[in-house]
Homo-oligomer: A and B are copies of this chain.
Amino acid sequence: MLALTRKNKIRELVLEQKNVTVSELASLFSVTEETIRRDLKSLEESGLLIRTYGGAYIQDGVVNDLRDSLRETILVPNKQKIAKKCAEFINNGDTIALDASTTAFHICSEIKNKRITVLTDSLKVSSYLSNYDNIHLISTGGTFLNKYSSFTGKSAQKTIMEYFVDKAFVSCRSVDMQHGITDANEEIAAIRTLLIERAKKAFLIADHSKFDNVSFVSICGFDKIDVVVADEPLNAEWHEFLKQRNISLFECAQDDPADKA
């Protein structure tokens, strides 16, 4: 049996009977319990179930179609690296903002066990984090944009204006030295502008494909950004540019840090 087939069957099973045990699945598929644990682990990270001692379960209704987010497979390993890096900055007691980007969604699985407050415009982030009691979850609400899985519009903006956060983790479409941070969608850009504005510390999440490009709508200039988290090392010009503006830069190597030696 194909590994993916097994995972799909596990997903179906857990959807059907709400909870499964490791031993049950191991004997069902004739594989080791370790293999099952690995499967459950990856399924949990995709937000399809929640692991517990001895097995896994789902809460009825909440986790519906997050599996689609699995398919956004471009640059996933890089985004996970960035997500892991970002999670390092998030401590218990923090109040953070997560936008409706793929990377922000990946951050969720890294922080699900922390005791924090999360403000988000993303439905996927909300759905995922709603399973964890230790997360104090606040949604911006507003008009739902299917394409981005984001709540936007005047209502969302007004709601954001009611809160302050310690750290905001915001992605974008393009980053350019001259034109700053830009996005393709006006509504999304407006939300991101606000999330950054309401944060003590703004983290710009951007993989290398976004640099040196300009998109339609402006989110903000570099003066609002405190930290940039990128996937691959940027060139010297960018290093100098960010350094001048007192912006910290974190570059997540694709593989081991030892690679750089």
Binding site for B on A (CB under 8 A): 2-5, 19, 21, 52-55, 57, 60-62, 64-65, 72, 105, 123-124, 126-128, 130-131, 133, 136-144, 146, 149, 151, 154-156, 158-159, 162
Contact = CB atoms under 8 A, between A and B. Distances in A.
Given A54-B3, A55-B2, A61-B124, A154 B143 contact: no
A21 to B, nearest CB: 6
A247 B235 CA distance: 71
A138 B133 contact: no
Given A2-B54, A54-B3, A57-B4, A159 B141 contact: yes
A113 to B, nearest CB: 16
Q: How many copies does the complex hold?
A: 2
Contacts of A55: 2, 4
A18 to B, nearest CB: 9
A60 B60 CA distance: 25
B52 A2 contact: yes
Given A141-B159, A142-B159, A143-B137, A64 B131 contact: yes
Contacts of A54: 2-4
A62 B100 CA distance: 12
A55 B4 CA distance: 9
A194 to B, nearest CB: 13
Given A54-B3, A126-B123, A154 B162 contact: yes
A137 B159 CA distance: 17
A130 B142 contact: no
Contacts of A141: 138-142, 151, 155-156, 159
Nearest to A129: B144
A159 B149 contact: no
Contacts of A53: 2-4
Nearest to A1: B21
30 contacts: A2-B19, A2-B21, A2-B52, A2-B54, A2-B57, A3-B52, A4-B54, A4-B57, A5-B57, A61-B124, A61-B127, A61-B149, A62-B123, A62-B149, A64-B128, A64-B131, A65-B130, A65-B131, A123-B139, A127-B127, A130-B144, A130-B149, A138-B155, A139-B139, A139-B144, A139-B151, A141-B142, A141-B151, A142-B159, A158-B159
A123 B151 CA distance: 12
Given A2-B52, A141-B155, 20 more contacts: A2-B54, A4-B19, A4-B53, A4-B55, A4-B57, A5-B57, A60-B72, A64-B131, A65-B127, A123-B126, A123-B127, A123-B139, A126-B144, A127-B127, A133-B146, A136-B143, A139-B144, A140-B141, A141-B141, A155-B162
